[in-house]
Amino acid sequence: MICNYPKISIIVPVYKVEKYLIECLESILMQSYDNFELILVNDGSPDRSGEICDEYAIKDSRIKVFHKENRGVSSARNLGIKEARGEWLCFIDADDWLDVDYLQNFIVLFSWEEDFVIQGYVKNADEQIVSGSGFVSKFENFLEFFMYSEKNNLFNSPCFKLFRKDIVDGHNVRFDENFSLGEDHIFTLEYIRFVSKFSVSFERGYHYRISNEGNSLTQKLIDIEKFKQYVLINHNLREEVLKLNKAGKDFFIRSYQEMNRWVIYTIHSLFDTRRQLSFTAEKTEFESLLHLFKFKYGVSRISFKVDIYNMLFIIVMGASILSIKMKIKCLKFLISIVSNLN
C-alpha cells in the first residue's frame, strides 16, 4: 500500500503580511525537495493576506488554507500542528523566505533515526545580509550541541528546524497561547527534552527579515514582568535538559551564565528612557532583577563589544560601596553610550 502522506508539513502563520507573503510562498513552492504540504493559517488578518492564501491554494494542491479569528501566532501554529499530516513539522514565518535547497539541506542529513534536525539562518535588512547564526563544526555530544545552540540563539525560534510530529503529539508539546514573550524559545526547549538523536547542517538557508515596523524586542518596550518570567522558565527548562542528560557541573555553570546574560538584557530594557518610571519604581524592579543575577558564575561571552559592556555591568552591580541610587545612575550612563546589546 502506497502512503500518500507528505514527508514534511510546513506551517506558516499569516497575519498582516500582504507586503511579503508572495515572496515567502514562492520561495517555499520553488523548493528542490517537493514532498511537503504547506499549511497556511490566516489568523484573522485584516489585509489581503487571507485572499492571497486562497489564490495560491487554487494554484497548488499541496497548499491547505485555514481561516480563523485572530488569537495570535501561537494559536495559529497550534492549529497548523493539529492539521499537519507529515512526519516532520517545519515552521516558517510569513515575512521570511528560503533558499531553494532549504528543505534539501535537512533531507540529506537523514539517517532515519533523528528526532531533531537544524540548520542556520541569516538576517536580512533591505535584502542585504546583516548577520546570522549557524553551525561550523560537528559536536562530540548532545550537551555541547545544546549549549552552543543556546548561546548562539539558535533555539529562540521554531524556524530553521524540523520537529518530529509523533514526538510533538505524543508529549503534547504546544505553543503557549497565554504567553506572548519568548514562547517560541520555550516550545523548542520543551521539545528538546525528548530528543535522543540530532543532526545539524552547516547551511544557512533561512532568511529572517528585519523590519523597521517595531516588531523586534530591540524596537519595542518589553514587558519587564513577563520577560522575567520568560528568563526563569527558560533557565528551568535548560536545567531540566541538562539533568536528563546527566550533565557535569561545567554545563550548569554555563546555564547560569546564559541566565545572567538575559538578566542583564532585562535590566538594560528596564532603564529605557521611553519608560519614564519613577525612581521608586525603577529601584524596586532593579532590586528584583539583581536578586536573579548569580555573580559567581559570570556571563556568557558573545562578542568583544557585548563582553566589555557586560563586564562593566557586573562591576557596577557588584560594587558594595555604591548605593542603589548610584548603581542606577551608573548603569543609565552605560546604556546611554551603548546603542544595543546585539
Sequential pLDDT tens for the chain (342 residues): 445 678 999 999 999 999 999 999 999 999 999 999 999 999 999 999 999 999 999 999 999 999 999 999 999 999 999 999 999 999 999 999 999 999 999 999 988 789 999 999 999 887 777 788 999 999 989 999 999 999 999 999 999 999 999 999 999 999 999 888 889 999 999 999 999 999 999 999 999 998 765 443 335 678 888 999 999 999 999 999 999 999 999 999 999 999 998 998 888 888 887 888 888 988 999 888 888 888 888 888 777 777 788 888 888 888 888 888 888 888 888 877 765 544
- Alpha carbons 45 and 42: distance in angstroms, whole number: 6
Half-sphere exposure of 201 (CA within 13 A, CB side): 24
- 8 Å CB contact between 250 and 242: no
- Alpha carbons 89 and 11: distance in angstroms, whole number: 7
Question: What predicted TM-score, i.e. pTM, was given to this entire model?
Answer: 0.90
Q: Look up residue 96 and give its amino acid.
A: D
CA neighbor of 6 nearest in space, from 64, 88, 61, 86: 86
Biggest CA-to-CA distance, the chain:
76
- Alpha carbons 243 and 138: distance in angstroms, whole number: 23
Nearest-10 crossing angle of helices 304-317, 249-270: 80
CA neighbor of 209 nearest in space, from 321, 103, 325, 98: 98
- Alpha carbons 233 and 252: distance in angstroms, whole number: 15
Tell me what pLDDT residue 129 has: 75
- Alpha carbons 32 and 17: distance in angstroms, whole number: 25
Q: Look up residue 88 and give its amino acid.
A: W
The strand pairing partners of 125, in sequence order, are: 128
Tell me what pLDDT residue 63 has: 98
- Alpha carbons 160 and 134: distance in angstroms, whole number: 10
- 8 Å CB contact between 182 and 230: yes
- Alpha carbons 78 and 184: distance in angstroms, whole number: 12
Tell me what pLDDT residue 116 has: 97
Tell me what pLDDT residue 212 has: 60
> Phi/psi zone of residue 126: left (φ > 0), alpha (ψ -120 to 50 degrees), beta?
left
List b or e across 203-240, with b for residues whose CB sees 16 or more CB atoms inside 10 angstroms: bbbbbbbbeeeeeeeeeeebebeebbebbebbbebbbe
Neighbouring residues of 63: CB distance < 8 A, sequence distance ≥ 6 = 37, 38, 40, 53, 56, 57
CA neighbor of 63 nearest in space, from 17, 25, 32: 25
- Alpha carbons 41 and 77: distance in angstroms, whole number: 8
